[in-house]
Structure 1
Amino acid sequence: MSLKQLPPESRPREKLLARGALALSDAELLAIFLRTGLQGMNAIELADHLLKQFGSLRALLSASQAQFCDYKGLGPAKFAQLQAVVEMTKRYLAETMKKGDALTSPENTKQYLSSMLRDRHREAFYVLFLDNQHRVVEDEILFEGTIDAASVYPREVVKRAMQHNAAALILAHNHPSGIAEPSDADRRITRRLVDALALVDIRILDHFVVGDGEVVSFAERGWI
């Protein structure tokens, strides 16, 4: 059955306009993006099929061009469109976070850090540099590889913080294993950084560890 044959309240676009995006399933949202289906398969059915093939919406969004275009009905044009949507989402989260106090919306901060770090195949050590109003003035990945005392250099973090005239920092790194639980090494390097930055009167407000579906906050654990 084509989408036009469905009652209006069951068509994804009409449903979104009437009830809002939260009312739609992953398949319905994807169907709006796809716009058309294939022979014998409407857009919702195609979307549902793709989600089952990739395993999840996240897996589809993070697929490589070769993986994405390997499926009938998907090509470079749709891949480019989808990547544009993903990038716009990241920029929206970044802009939302940077406009205000990074600590007033911890969930926004977690969402942003998750979007930046979750799908990386290597560990990345990410720093948000904040002014004295806790607004983000700069953010960057300082180190990549295994995050431990041997690969994160407090002197370099202090140097970059002073270059950005930061009053405080928020640290983050990902666990490619998908398990967000901080390791003993994570706690040791955090303590070293807290001590090093305290010498130049710069505070570390939090350290987030990003996993597959969870983001752990050191501050919420009482470790900072």
Structure 2
Amino acid sequence: MGKNNTIKDMYQEDRPYEKCERFGAENLTDAELLAVLLRTGTQGENSLQLAHRLIESDCSGRGILNIHRWTFDQLMRIKGIGRVKAVQILCLSELAKRMAKSSAMDRLDFSDPKTVARYYMEDMRHKEREVIKLLLLNTKAKLIGECVISVGTVDAALVSPRDLFIEALQRNASAIILLHNHPSGDPSPSREDERITRRIYEAGALLGIELLDHIIIGDNCFISLKEQGLFQ
């Protein structure tokens, strides 16, 4: 690969900046959009080629969604990525998540699992370990707090009903919703998911804290255990 392999060496109509100006950002590929944000490449590799290499960094077929899985340390180990570019990519990932969450805010209704799943989808679908999130609600089913109560392995997360209800009682919650992700992308509940959900539902009934739902997040999909008829 030659030393003069720069964006300026490309035909003008193929340069990401010029292409955006002429045709609009919506007509740029994922790699071209990323190249615009990276601005520069590395020796012997322009920003567009670097962007392609980042997007195609593994064989998962996730493409641009790989960005959400990278950590600062992982990015720093990639040839051509220094501190500045690593921070830019992490901020791009976080901005995308916040934009998705913000667009789902207006339709968020804690009695409707579809809107809850949509609101938390980008937060949870890209995580490489199972994470259990507890949503705390008041008597009017309004959110008064949320917290992560367990971070597990790639296929399991342990949760103690005792710790969960201590948190709920301390925050004076009248109802709770459980959320957790399946890194495999398949939201189908395991037997352990069903067992622990029943235990939490029964314990909540004794304490006067209703379990409204347990929602499992997959890869842009979800399952509501209440809708599945696991509890009423």
User: What's the TM-score, normalizing by structure 2?
Assistant: 0.73
1:129: Cα distance to partner? Answer: 1.0
In structure 2, distance between residues paired with 1:95 and 1:47: 27
Unaligned runs of 5+ in 2: 1-5
Judged with a 3 Å threshold, the aligned counterparts in structure 2 of structure 1 residues 156 and 50 are, in CA distance, closer, same or farther, namely closer
1:123 to 123, 130, 148: 130
Name the CA shift for 1:16/1:90 in 2 (closer, same or farther; >3 Å). Answer: farther
Give 1:106 shift: 5.0
Matched, 1:50 2:54: yes
Q: Percent identity?
A: 32
Distance 1:18 1:107 in 2: 36
Task: Confirm or deny: 8 A CA contact 2:31 2:52 kept in the other structure.
Answer: yes
Are 1:81 and 2:88 an aligned pair? yes
Shift in Å at residue 122 of structure 1? 3.8
CA contact (8 A) 2:69 2:127 kept: no
Q: Match for residue 7 of structure 1?
A: 13
Q: Classify 1:153/1:63 alpha carbon distance in 2 versus 1 (closer, same or farther; 3 Å).
A: closer
Where do 5+ consecutive residues of structure 1 fail to align?
none
Q: Deviations over 1:79-98 (max 9, x none)?
A: 11222233344455566667
Query: For residue 135 of structure 1, what is the amino acid of its counterpart?
Result: K
**Which of 150, 172, 178 is the equivalent residue of 2:179?**
172
Corresponding position: 1:157 with 2:161: no
Once the 2 structures are TM-superposed, how far is the Cα of residue 24 of structure 1 from its aligned partner?
4.1
Match of 1:30 among 16, 34, 37: 34
Could you tell me which amino acid in structure 2 is paired with residue 45 of structure 1? Q
Q: 1:156 to 1:104 in 2, by over 3 A?
A: closer
Change (3 A) 1:51 1:88: closer
SS at match of 1:127: strand
Moved more, 187-196 or 55-64: 55-64
User: Separation in 2 of the partners of 1:77 and 1:219?
Assistant: 45
**CA distance 1:86–1:133, shift in 2 (3 Å):** farther
Code of the residue aligned with 1:139 in structure 2: it is: E
Q: How has the CA–CA distance of structure 1 residues 182 and 129 changed in structure 2, closer, same or farther, with 3 Å as cutoff?
A: same
Q: Which moved more, 1:184-193 or 1:166-175?
A: 166-175
Q: Deviations over 1:78-127 (max 9, x none)?
A: 11122223334445556666777443775563255343334444433211
Q: What RMSD over aligned residues (CA atoms) do the two structures have, in Å?
A: 3.5
TM-score (norm 1): 0.75
Contact 1:101 1:133 in 2 (8 A): no
Distance 1:69 1:156, change over 3 A: closer
Measured in 2, the distance between the counterparts of 1:105 and 1:38 equals 48
Deviations 1:103-162 (A, max 9, x none): 3775563255343334444433211112234332211111333757xx433233222112
- Give, in angstroms, the shift of residue 13 of structure 1: 7.5
Alignment match, 1:187: 194
